[in-house]
Amino acid sequence: MKLRYNFRLYPGPDQCRELARAFGCARVVFNDALRIGRDAYAQGHARPKAAELSTRVITEAKRTPERAWLRDVSAVVLQQSLRDLEAAYSNFFASKNGTRKGPRVSPPRMKKKAARQAVRFTANARWSITPSGKLHLPKIGDIPVRWSRELPSAPSSVTVIKDPAGRYFASFVVEAQDKPLPELDVEETDTGIDLGLSSYAVLRGQKITSPKFFRRQEKKLRRAQRVFSRKKKGSNNRRKARLVVARIHARIADQRRDFIEQHTTTITRESQGVYVEDLNMKGMAARRGRLGKSVHDQSLGKFTRTLEAKCARHGRTFVKVSRWYPSTQECSACHELTGPKGRDQLHVRRWTCTGCGVAHDRDTNAEVNIRAAGRKRAAEMRHEAERQNACGERVRPRKSGQRSSKQEPTRSPAVHHSEAGGITHSHMGEDVKTAGSSRRPSTPTSTADRVI
């Protein structure tokens, strides 16, 4: 599987200017190619191919006075910008045809000078990592890198990213092998995970308190945004104030990412089976009203995706339980739906079942129910996997007394009454149907004419 490793870069002033030039050239090439495609569509012509676009917006454009500065950056950066445009068109057409999963994708739009910028270097650019540990990029130079870990294999490409806070990162794509962890006892280590707001996640015998990174920085962020809004547009003071706001957001994102990585790694190591609710995070944020900011602050969707990827890599069982399963309302002892129902009962954290009289903690009871439903779903998935052939198609089990298809067919004719009132004659293993007095010749029929 392919993984992405990010490392912090520390370019000098001259290298920052060269990277800014690379960002701008890649953006201009993307916009020129997109403009040519739009003009061709407006005139009723087919969109030019990638090779033709490369010739027009890169090779020929370098010879003109208006685009002569494209020679100052690596040609691979410009080629990769065209590849990004082709990928954007492919995603748009696939979404329009219904062959792409997920939300609808809009057609590619013109790029503007945004706060986040990126360029990609492939092996053709001849970038390298120097013996001293620096990243050598063509026409940019050797950039110091802060290595936090070793790469598992030789990277195939590197993407240089400048985030809104003004920080530079090198993102390497590497090929990594799966690392299955030692198997654990399922009955003792599997866990259900109940995600929420009051508690970030409730596991088997453990509660993870909500960190609320955004809420803790909200007052400081509000003050910085107020200062930013009062600065004159286009001034240096406004640019500095924007960096202050961006750095606060970057700190919140870094804290949240580190929190998710640490807890998902711990859960993967200590659990053989992990069962999580399949929540609709966008719907929850829209329905919660003033609590929508808290829903986004939790970032439960990223938590679930990260946990699923780690379970797949380390050989753990990961199952999503249906979002319509009433894990909170169902009593884990008698399985009656006597728990709190509706949005007006969200404040009820403890309740007593009216059927069996057992007192429940709302989140702990939900975790027990999710774990039981996850085990059942995992067993069904294993059963379905056993019923599939090498091509992934479902195999129908043979009924008792049914003859194998490899067995020699009986040559003696057998007569059976069909539902249509005719007679089916078995002739050398082929079925020929006669209706009424008319009779077809006793020759093998096609697959569509056989009576099964």
> CB–CB of 29/23 below 8 Å?
no
Helix axes 236-270 and 300-313, enclosed angle (nearest 10): 50
Of 28, 127, 118, whose CA–CA distance to 71 is shortest? 28
Residue 106 DSSP one-character state: P
Strands (E) in 81-205, as ranges, are: 117-122, 128-129, 135-137, 141-143, 145-146, 157-162, 168-175, 191-195, 199-203
Q: What is the pLDDT along the chain (452 residues), one digit of tens a residue?
A: 889 999 999 999 999 999 999 999 999 999 999 999 999 999 999 999 989 999 999 999 999 999 999 999 999 999 999 999 999 999 999 999 989 988 889 999 999 999 999 999 999 999 999 999 999 999 999 999 999 999 989 998 999 999 999 999 999 999 888 889 999 988 889 999 999 888 899 999 889 999 999 999 999 999 999 999 999 999 999 999 999 999 999 999 999 999 999 999 999 999 999 999 988 887 787 766 677 888 889 999 999 999 999 999 999 999 999 988 988 888 988 988 888 887 777 788 888 988 888 898 888 999 999 999 999 998 888 888 777 766 766 666 655 555 554 444 444 444 344 333 333 333 333 333 334 444 444 444 333 333 33
- Where in the sequence numbering do the catalytic residues fall? 194, 277, 363
Strands (E) in 256-355, as ranges, are: 273-277, 317-321, 350-352
Give the C-alpha distances (Å, rounded to integers) separating 444 from 329, 411, 420. Answer: 61, 13, 20
Which pairs from 410-419 meet CB under 8 Å and 24+ separation? 418/451
Give the C-alpha distances (Å, rounded to integers) separating 410 from 65, 359, 388, 404, 439. Answer: 85, 67, 30, 12, 22
